[in-house]
Amino acid sequence: MMFALAGSASAISFQECILADGSKIFTDQPCPKNAKELPRFIADPKPPPPPPADPVDTAAPPTEVANTDEETRKNAPPPVPKPRKRYRCIRPEGGDYVSNTTHDETRWVPLWKVERPNLILDSGGADVQAAKRPPVASAKPNPEKAEASSRLVLVRDQCLLVTGSELCTMIRTERRQVEEKLAAASESQRPQLEAEGNQLDLEFVASCKTQTP
């Protein structure tokens, strides 16, 4: 039995025909003569819902890919270390040295030990011009000079950053010293010295690119 669409695409219309003997027929055509005609409608069936989307694959990547990434990390060259800074420091008591830090610590020393009065931070009221060694024993000692020379003053080493050609010369000197130590080093000492030599080579490249090692 065929049914016709009734105007709207959302419903189907047909006829229910009740015949004289009480039987019923359904048709999309007019009912037979002398039959009672009852219009009927049936809703258009809804289309089936779309199939569910494929689940997102949250599984770990294949072992081969993970192994490849791990091998890449292992074979990557080590990061280039940052060049160490070098400072040339002078002591108020005399003498100088090279350090990787600025040595900002202060200390109290007897005034008579100070050879560079301009590096005194706090004289404690002492006359810095009296910064001389205590006078040697004599028949007539001078108490005032002895007291001034033994008075404590606050000092700090003065450190200046080394740059340019002086820095490159220092690195070359340190590298040569490492080579000399390697020549006489035991097997257990060599790894540390070789690592220090490599560090100095990298520092020279980073700080002295235009110069010859």
**Which sequence spans correspond to the domains of the chain?**
4-43, 87-161, 164-207
What band does 212 get if pLDDT is binned at 50, 70 and 90? Answer: low
Burial pattern 10-44, b for ≥16 Cβ within 10 A else e, equals eebebbebeeeeeeeeebeeebeeebeeeeeeeee
Residues 6+ apart with CB under 8 A from 95: none
Helix (H, G, I), strand (E, B) or coil at 98: strand
Q: Hey, what are 169's tokens?
A: 């010369």
Task: Compute the average pLDDT of residues 137-145.
Answer: 48
Q: Which residues sit opposite 161 in a β-bridge?
A: 87
Average model confidence (pLDDT) for the chain?
Answer: 79
Task: Compute the average pLDDT of residues 184-211.
Answer: 90
Query: Does the structure show a pLDDT above 70 at 141?
Result: no
Query: Does the structure show a pLDDT above 70 at 188?
Result: yes
Question: Which one, of 5, 8, 31, lies nearest residue 18 by Cα?
Answer: 31
- The per-residue pLDDT for 83 is 85
Q: Tell me the C-alpha distance between 78 and 76, whole Å.
A: 6
Task: Compute the average pLDDT of residues 52-74.
Answer: 69
- The per-residue pLDDT for 34 is 82
Q: State the pairing for strand pair 24-27/36-43.
A: unpaired
